[in-house]
């Protein structure tokens, strides 16, 4: 299994323990480990490495763009939905170690879990092989979404606000309509209302759920 995962990641680990840790969901971590053993610590550093490497890539790829345009591109490329998409595209979810109960609950399909696992894998590559190895992984794994991004994207909340203003509607109203999950891994369901339309999104943070809700409403009005 480790060789197959190393093939997916494009990196041969000198410290296999880092790879095991990156692929261990908190539900499968050793009891009493105080965060050690799960991929949370590696996700923490992977998040920072990803931001740096994507920012570096954007500076190279779009030399004429300024901070605002680059910032929107960066926010999109490191967003939870894109990370989950990349994680699934490279085949990482099947390798994630979770408890039997969480597996039955479908935890491997949750965007927040997939995003965390991908960042943890990147963190493990960085700690094991350095920045060059991490850079190689990012540029391979994110190539499709980077190439598809012809114009700087607008975040969904901004796009929705522009849509309602163009139609003389009131500003969108966001409400937390449900909350589930344990305290250390909450899930927020947010519904946005604009005129006679609404959209709902669920994510591990209110901000991410609001973005998903805005995206859902925009898909509805575009259909």
Q: Are 193 and 215 in contact (CB under 8 A)?
A: no
Helix boundaries (H) for 90-110: 100-104
The DSSP code for 64 is T
169 burial (CB, 10 Å; 0-12 / 13-18 / 19+) is middle
SS3 state at 184? coil
Q: What DSSP assignment string belongs to 115-161?
A: HHHHHHHHHHHHHHHHHHHHHHHHHHHTHHHHHH--SPPPPHHHHHH
Active site residues: 47, 119
Query: Cα separations (Å) of 218 from 8, 175, 207?
Result: 34, 17, 17
């Amino acid at each position: 299994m480790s060789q197959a995962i190393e093939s997916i990641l494009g990196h041969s680990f000198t410290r296999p323990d880092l790879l095991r840790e990156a692929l261990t969901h908190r539900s499968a971590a050793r009891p009493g480990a105080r965060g050690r053993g799960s991929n949370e610590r590696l996700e923490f550093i992977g998040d920072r490495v990803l931001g740096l490497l994507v920012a570096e890539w954007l500076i190279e790829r779009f030399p004429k763009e300024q901070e605002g345009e680059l910032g929107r591109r960066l926010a999109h490329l490191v967003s939870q939905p894109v990370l989950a998409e990349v994680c699934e595209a490279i085949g990482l979810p099947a390798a994630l170690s979770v408890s039997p109960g969480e597996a039955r609950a479908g935890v491997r399909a949750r965007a927040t879990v997939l995003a965390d696992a991908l960042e943890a894998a990147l963190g493990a590559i960085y700690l094991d092989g350095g920045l060059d190895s991490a850079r190689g992984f990012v540029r391979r794994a994110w190539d499709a979404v980077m190439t598809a991004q012809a114009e700087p994207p607008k975040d969904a909340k901004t796009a929705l606000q522009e849509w309602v203003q163009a139609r003389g509607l009131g500003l969108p109203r966001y409400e937390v309509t449900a909350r589930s999950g344990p305290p250390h891994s909450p899930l927020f369901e947010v519904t946005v209302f604009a005129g006679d339309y609404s959209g709902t999104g669920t994510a591990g943070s209110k901000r991410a759920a609001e973005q998903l809700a805005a995206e859902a409403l925009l898909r509805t009005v575009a259909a």
